[in-house]
Structure 1
Amino acid sequence: MKIKFGTSGWRDIIAENFTFENVKLVTQAIADYVNQKFAGQKKVIVGYDPRFLSEDFAKTSCCVLSANGIKSLYTKRDVPTPVVAYEIISKKLAGGINFTASHNPPEYNGLKFSPDWGGPALPETTQFIEKACEELMSNRERIKEMDYDEAKKKGLIEEIDPRQNFLKRIKQLVDIKSIKKAKLKVGVDLLYGTARGYLDELLKECGCKITVLHDWRDVLFGGHRPEPDEENLKGLIDVVKKKKLNLGLSCDGDADRFGIVDSDGTFITPNQVIALLLYHLAKSRNYRGGIAVRSVMTSHFVDSIAKGYDVEVKETPVGFKFIGGIMVENPDKFIIGGEESGGLTIRGHVPEKDGVLACMLIAEMVAQEKKPIRKILQELEKKFGKFITKRVNLSLTKENMEKFREKLKSTPPEEFAGLKVKKLITIDGFKFILEDGSWVGMRLSGTEPIVRLYIESDTVKKVSELKSAGEKFITS
């Protein structure tokens, strides 16, 4: 087998390829990277999500790091991904290893490495690790390991609880007083994940009356992937409507993604949330003339609002590491960065997705605006235009996938549903900007024969027509 890092680390099925032996191998490759890059004493935080065996995989990783002279800061319980990032930055660590498969199905686990700047490892870093893994495959005797208790006695493993440190930072970034004053009634679906004791605790401290769902560890996440999408949040939607709550908030398994429900039970899409929070930050913090960053398939609603506040928009390939990279390069100009899959961060925080922060900022916005999210959206649409988005996954055979890949490169479409292609963007997939401002995007999965089709326009009718045209081009 080959160890391959995707957009956010190495993920695989537990006990098939995600094994203790392969965890040792990948950790040794990371240890090689850290020892090559840093001199003197080196510290790495090792965290994990609530998946099956996560804490044991993490301990195994600590044993390999210890044998390589690297001190591990092992978290006493499962922690959100942004907590790992914040510890790296606040404690000036050499990096962080996080055992998480994020929103993937329960049978998966994953290993994610974040270097010293706190964001997900960039391609040049993961390529080094992948190459080192390949070499270790045929030379496994080079993998070092120390007994966990022995490493603890030698001071090479320290067990930590980073919770208070992180909660303190969130309280500095969010207007807690506004939320307290509003006395919001909030539904919270923790989806059995790492947001337990983080999101619910913050809302309690803000004086919110909360109704909490799924606030215990379940390695099977209730039998489905821990993704805070509309389908998985039906229980939260019902609670919000029945109890007449102001808001419903949720995070995924490792709390780097968010799910937002309005007071009438409407699911607010990540595209809408990013646009809403750009508006809210520009208005409440008086941010003007800065930078907003979005991934290539994220809504242009962001661009329209940005224009109204003299904010420059930068477009990146898919993967939060690219957004984080721009944030680190422009710390004083950066306002918000987000992607349509449900991740965002803001100025002054970590260059990593943070679902807990996103939820708290939405609570702040609702508290300050004193109105439901749909009312705020309606006002923004009147001012900045309507943006309706759609995403569809289309499965192809491997043979047809290759044929489609060639067709896209050799004869890309010149029009969709009678609208001419005005511009083609190819930084990640193919994004066709049409003459009326609508757009159609196509991305081919790197791991399975699936084409992701993205559509954005200003009417439901146009979105439907463009979807049909896109599907016809892909499947014909």
Structure 2
Amino acid sequence: MGRLFGTAGLRGVFGREVTVQLALNFGNGIARMSGGAVLLGWDNRLSSHALASAAASGALSGGADVLLVGMCPFPVLARATMEAGDAGIYVTASHNPPEYNGLKAFWGDGAELTREQEEELEKMVEEFAYGEVIGSIQWSPYGVEEYVEDLLEAVGPSSSVLVVADPANGAASILAPSVLSETGARVISVNSRPDGTFPGRMPEPSPENLRETMDLVRRAGAELGLAWDGDADRIAVIDGRGRFVPQYKVSSLAAMALRARRVITSVDMGLGLRRVVEGLGGEVVEWRLGDLHSLY
């Protein structure tokens, strides 16, 4: 078997590179590696239920208890794993087209697997093994509702800014406009009906895919536009004039708001973030794409 993991988990076309059998073995491997409860969540792609069911069966057969978070944005599963489990599995292909799907794994600290841990899991995926006991399955005590409560407590109320929200018919379709409204913002939502075929636009929030959304921001007189990818772990920002804001500017604003003294960034970020952080006396560390958690 060749290397399964890419820069961000395991991805491929469903039924070809990513199969139900692979998900079964993946769940089984995570159960054997973690030795504890496994949290399970998925995005709303058409194939996600099949893969999640297989991953759950594999984990149960490996002896782990499975705690279901259900269909949720990617960050919810990471947070839920920190709060309630020893490991987590999330079924998603992120910003890829609808025929794709994939699998990601977390540990109890919410971090994704390191390269070394991925290599260990790949060996386990090659050989399914039953545990000494069969695990149980139930709903997680921490899920979307608890995540929203934590999020609103951390953010607090905002002004009644007019925002265009575009979740791409993905996992944040209901959650994102609702949370923005709870903060006090006035929200115009588009592509906010969950649909795993992504009929509104392709899930990657790139300038090319957001032309209609950028035009809507201009026409509506909105002060801001926010757009997510399929599993809501990536956000794009549109300014009040309908212009796409480069990612380095968004990251620079986040670093300034956090008063970050050290920022770890992928090699594709460019020089803008470095200039901002170093100009404020901080340090920027560049690391390989999709693997920022491995070194620091």
TM-score by length of 1: 0.58
- 2:150 aligns with 169
SS of the equivalent of 2:199 reads helix
- Whether 1:157 aligns to 2:157 is no
Once the two structures are TM-superposed, the CA of residue 21 in structure 1 deviates from its matched residue by 1.6
Q: Which residue type is aligned with residue 156 of structure 1?
A: S
- 1:211 aligns with 188
Report the identity percentage: 29
- 1:33 aligns with 33
Once the two structures are TM-superposed, the CA of residue 110 in structure 1 deviates from its matched residue by 0.1
SS of the equivalent of 2:270 reads coil
SS of the equivalent of 1:118 reads coil
SS of the equivalent of 2:123 reads helix
Q: Structure 1 CA distance, aligned partners of 2:166 and 2:245?
A: 15
- 1:97 aligns with 89
For residues 264-317 of structure 1, what are the alpha-carbon distances to aligned partners after superposition, in whole Å with 9 as ceiling and x for unaligned?
1000011221112223333xxxx6xx2122112212222222223221222211
Once the two structures are TM-superposed, the CA of residue 197 in structure 1 deviates from its matched residue by 2.9
SS of the equivalent of 2:38 reads strand
For residues 182-210 of structure 1, what are the alpha-carbon distances to aligned partners after superposition, in whole Å with 9 as ceiling and x for unaligned?
31001000101111232211111122111
For residues 20-40 of structure 1, what are the alpha-carbon distances to aligned partners after superposition, in whole Å with 9 as ceiling and x for unaligned?
1221122222222223xxxxx
- 2:69 aligns with 75
Q: 1:324 to 1:191 in 2, by over 3 A?
A: farther
CA contact (8 A) 2:69 2:77 kept: no
- 1:235 aligns with 212
Tell me the C-alpha RMSD between the 2 structures. 2.1
Q: 1:17 to 1:305 in 2, by over 3 A?
A: closer
CA contact (8 A) 2:111 2:293 kept: no
Once the two structures are TM-superposed, the CA of residue 114 in structure 1 deviates from its matched residue by 1.1
For residues 321-359 of structure 1, what are the alpha-carbon distances to aligned partners after superposition, in whole Å with 9 as ceiling and x for unaligned?
424752xxxxxxxxxxxxxxxxxxxxxxxxxxxxxxxxx
SS of the equivalent of 1:322 reads coil
Q: Structure 1 CA distance, aligned partners of 2:138 and 2:295?
A: 30
Q: Structure 2 CA distance, aligned partners of 1:45 and 1:133?
A: 18
Q: Which residue type is aligned with residue 43 of structure 2?
A: D
Once the two structures are TM-superposed, the CA of residue 220 in structure 1 deviates from its matched residue by 1.5
- 2:238 aligns with 261
Q: 1:7 to 1:198 in 2, by over 3 A?
A: same
- 2:5 aligns with 5
Q: Higher helix proportion, which one?
A: 1
Once the two structures are TM-superposed, the CA of residue 263 in structure 1 deviates from its matched residue by 0.6
Q: How does 1:63-212 map to 2 (within 5 A)?
A: 63-76=57-70, 78-91=71-84, 93-134=85-126, 136=127, 142=129, 156-160=136-140, 162-174=143-155, 176-177=156-157, 179=158, 182-212=159-189
Q: Which residue type is aligned with residue 159 of structure 1?
A: W
Q: How does 1:281-360 map to 2 (within 5 A)?
A: 281-282=258-259, 290-319=261-290, 321-323=291-293, 326=296
Once the two structures are TM-superposed, the CA of residue 70 in structure 1 deviates from its matched residue by 0.7
Q: Which has the higher contact order (CA 8 A, sep 6+)?
A: 2
Q: Structure 2 CA distance, aligned partners of 1:197 and 1:257?
A: 16
Q: Structure 1 CA distance, aligned partners of 2:256 and 2:26?
A: 42
- 2:54 aligns with 60
Q: Structure 1 CA distance, aligned partners of 2:61 and 2:293?
A: 34
Once the two structures are TM-superposed, the CA of residue 223 in structure 1 deviates from its matched residue by 7.5
- 2:19 aligns with 19
Q: 1:119 to 1:158 in 2, by over 3 A?
A: same
- 1:454 aligns with none
For residues 90-141 of structure 1, what are the alpha-carbon distances to aligned partners after superposition, in whole Å with 9 as ceiling and x for unaligned?
22x211000001011111110111122211211011000112223x2xxx5x
Q: Which residue type is aligned with residue 54 of structure 1?
A: S
CA contact (8 A) 1:10 1:110 kept: yes
For residues 203-235 of structure 1, what are the alpha-carbon distances to aligned partners after superposition, in whole Å with 9 as ceiling and x for unaligned?
111221111011112221128641111111122
CA contact (8 A) 2:11 2:17 kept: no
SS of the equivalent of 2:171 reads coil
Aligned residues: 294
CA contact (8 A) 2:168 2:201 kept: no
CA contact (8 A) 1:295 1:323 kept: no
Q: Which residue type is aligned with residue 127 of structure 1?
A: E
Structure 1 runs (4+) deviating above 3 angstroms are none
CA contact (8 A) 1:59 1:74 kept: no
Q: 1:158 to 1:3 in 2, by over 3 A?
A: farther
Q: Structure 2 CA distance, aligned partners of 1:11 and 1:195?
A: 20
Q: 1:3 to 1:291 in 2, by over 3 A?
A: closer
CA contact (8 A) 1:193 1:255 kept: yes
Q: Structure 1 CA distance, aligned partners of 2:11 and 2:233?
A: 16
TM-score by length of 2: 0.92
CA contact (8 A) 1:85 1:119 kept: yes
